[in-house]
Chains A and B, each alone.
Chain A
């Protein structure tokens, strides 16, 4: 079935360092890959997304890359700040119009 693997499950970085989260997906028909940030007590918030006709997209300190051949996509956060601490989820668009989510990465940014 459709599946998304996400690594690592936890990530601790020093303020100002970069953080990288990686995902792989199984359904070659997927053409949409969003990333969400979830803070305690809140729903997932869309932070960036990428479509299959693009290999890379950047928005200030956040960038995503997509390798459709290898079915890999990654989130890069540069110059991390304590407010970046949260759980991050990758997802892939599924054949049912749903999103298939990875298990999440808990990012901790230490001041």
Chain B
């Protein structure tokens, strides 16, 4: 069974630009969550999608958005990029997820975003 696939693996952008990251979950998984990983803040939750709807959201500004397609694939968009957005962006999938879920979340290898 294929794991979670994230593309691209690396991206370099400049301040003010926007970027779109892609995530394909494990086959059959319908919940997709996004996390930002930085050396200073660690792993922080961005949002979770289920059945093409954003079900939960972390404490990030509105510049961070996402969507999910009918095949459960998800994209994440960051607009008006800032230097502080440089991070590893990770996607995780689980069967159905949800509040206080006890289902394992499986991560992809992430997209490394660098802002110049």
Contacts and interface: CB of A to CB of B under 8 A. Distances in A.
Interface residues of A, number: 28
B31 interface: yes
A31 B103 CA distance: 10
B33 to A, nearest CB: 6
A89 B90 CA distance: 14
B104 interface: yes
B102 A104 contact: no
Contacts of A104: 42
Given A43-B90, A46-B106, A98 B56 contact: yes
Contacts of A61: none
Nearest to B94: A97
A67 to B, nearest CB: 18
Size bracket of the B interface:
20 to 34
Interface in A8-57: 29-32, 34, 36, 41-46, 49, 51
A98 B48 CA distance: 8
29 contacts: A31-B102, A32-B101, A32-B102, A34-B104, A42-B109, A43-B6, A43-B90, A43-B109, A44-B90, A46-B105, A46-B106, A49-B104, A93-B101, A93-B102, A95-B99, A95-B100, A96-B45, A96-B48, A96-B99, A97-B31, A97-B33, A97-B55, A97-B99, A97-B101, A98-B48, A98-B56, A99-B33, A99-B92, A104-B42
Interface of B: 4, 6, 31, 33, 35, 42-43, 45, 48, 55-58, 90, 92, 97-110
Interface of A: 29-32, 34, 36, 41-46, 49, 51, 89, 91, 93-104
